[in-house]
Chains A and B, each alone.
Chain A
Amino acid sequence: MKKRNKNLAFSANKLRLDVLEMAYKAGSGHLGGSFSCAEILTCLYRSFLQVKPEQPDWPERDRFILSKGHAAPILYAMLSTLGFFSKDDLMTLRKFGSHLQGHPDMRKTPGIDLSSGSLGMGLSTGIGMAWTARQIKQNWRVFVLAGDGELDEGQNWEAAMLAAKLNLPNLILIVDCNGVQLDGTTDDIMPLGNLEEKFQAFGWRSEIVDGHDCAALSSGIEVGLEHNGPFVLLARTVKGKGVAFMEGNHEWHGKALSEEEYLIAKRMLEQIC
């Protein structure tokens, strides 16, 4: 088990290296919020999501929604690693004619279940998908990854009420709580208060885990899958995780890399691997 978690951590960091390369080649792209959710995505795709890379639209697959659509680069890196499309495609990120748009596009990229980019909508759409699974008597589950910054959008709380009303057991929300949004820290821009208690007050079960610890993430998701109702996993993470000069710095939400920065960051991530 320990070895498996170590392998997951290794895979997660490999994704960061892919993303660094992609964003450097593209001249733009969101590094901070991609790096903070590397372990979350790895854990989900390697241990939980039932998907078929050779048949991306397999009707019985589990659904994944990246509500924080700006972290598209790391989702693309994950999907290509699993074989949804060629790894060579990654270097076409944000280029004209590429299927890898700046934000996820379900009509262009194999393996994307929902286009995103405009924030605060993913949870609602996950509810629609989870309700449909129940309606048509399918066992697939819906996993939504949201950012903590996007919880500023009131729609999330409309959705939180509806999920409790519909009592959907096949819906899991994971919040990448990196504490930083575009303009600054979440505490400065819009204090979120006690998210654990907030979700509980909305009728959800909530758990807090270290979002960079694959073992903790896995057990947290297991708890959610056992729970018979809406469940949120609040994953404490570090924005820009793995690159010292990016960590916790809001300027790296969507900043372009210079050659020097790229080389330093690459060295730092390679040391972790």
Chain B
Amino acid sequence: MLTEIEKPKPMRQIFGEHLVKLSKTNPEMVVLDADVSCSTQTCLFGKAFPDRFINCGIAEANMVSVAAGIAAAGLRPVISSFAYLLATRALDQIRSQIAYNSLPVIIAGGYAGLSDFADGGSHQSIEDLAIFSSMPNMTVICPGDANEVELALEMAMRHEGPVYIRLSRAETPRLASEQPFEIGKAITYKHGEDIALLSTGQMLPRVLEAAELLSKAEIKAEVLHLHTVKPIDEQAVLGVARKCKAVVTCEENSVKGGLGSIVASLLSQKQPTDMRMIGISDAFGQSGSYDDLLEHYGLSPSHITMVVKKMLSQELRRQTGLQARNVM
């Protein structure tokens, strides 16, 4: 059941406000941004603690390497910029300095997925999950609601290595969850046995809505939320695959190399399972309203519902066909 315990707020605002809150209990925390602090909301921290904040200007590569030095010298930097810039412009620095040395840097990729909708494909980040998930020593977290943004930050501050936190520009609800947030541990939001819906990041509320729509059609969906894409919670994924016999992954990222690919790689080796991947199919984004884009790229609750229904009817036809052949 989708229980909102607070009205939706922009994820970036939740992030910015929580940085300020955490600073009091984490004196070693410092924040760096690359001239987008008013967008990512790290400006809130910058205003509250100007001596613990460096605005590095429009120079992401330099910002990442400066953070590597800060982390190597004992403080805990949070670096913030747009997700696509961190994943592509500053990739060498993140790979060669932060990941290679496993330095405790929090990499906060803002405006991820299609959430920077009006700015167009140049600004929309659809490759960052694949890029960071391929990196040894890197942990990748995609929070799905306000609680997860805050808890991901708190956990990442205590984590020994680097953590990439993928953040949306869009509004996100605060959902009730019965399970604790732990890096690498999936959260079950809904139990069902007809189909397993696997969500990550800002897809969570849409997947929960799709599960509601499916229940009206007498289809019981299990909703497993994988806020941590790397390391993936193998036991939880294998468990729902065994239980439901069919799996649909949902991500606001390219299907190439993201959650779908990671789940497919796991299942194909350990628990071959019929699956579909919902995500952006090997195409760059474009300008439009957020809803238009989600509809166009097949990320809306109604599209998820359609994919599931089609998948299950195909499965039914296959089973019926098998029975018919057996009778003959």
Contact = CB atoms under 8 A, between A and B. Distances in A.
Interface in A113-163: 113-115, 117-118, 121, 124-133, 135-136, 154-155, 158-159, 161-162
Interface string B47-78: 00001101011010110111111111111010
A162 B56 contact: yes
Contacts of A121: 61, 65, 68, 92-93, 96-97
B69 A132 contact: yes
B101 interface: yes
A97 interface: no
A135 B56 contact: no
Contact of A155 (B51, B65, B100): B65
Contacts, number: 100
Given A117-B96, A162-B59, A125 B30 contact: no
B102 interface: yes
Contacts of A106: 72, 101
A268 interface: no
Interface size class on chain A is 20 to 34
A129 B65 CA distance: 10
A125 B97 contact: yes
B66 A155 contact: no
Interface size class on chain B is 20 to 34
Interface in B92-116: 92-93, 96-97, 100-102
Contacts of A59: 74
A113 B61 contact: no
Contacts of A117: 96
B101 A128 contact: no
A127 B93 CA distance: 15
A132 B77 CA distance: 10
A264 interface: no
Nearest to B73: A132
B66 A124 contact: yes
A124 B96 contact: no
Interface in A202-243: none
A109 to B, nearest CB: 12
Interface string B181-225: 000000000000000000000000000000000000000000000
Interface of A: 59, 63, 106-107, 113-115, 117-118, 121, 124-133, 135-136, 154-155, 158-159, 161-162, 166
Interface of B: 30, 51-52, 54, 56-57, 59, 61-62, 64-75, 77, 92-93, 96-97, 100-102
7 contacts: A121-B61, A121-B96, A127-B69, A128-B70, A128-B77, A155-B65, A161-B57
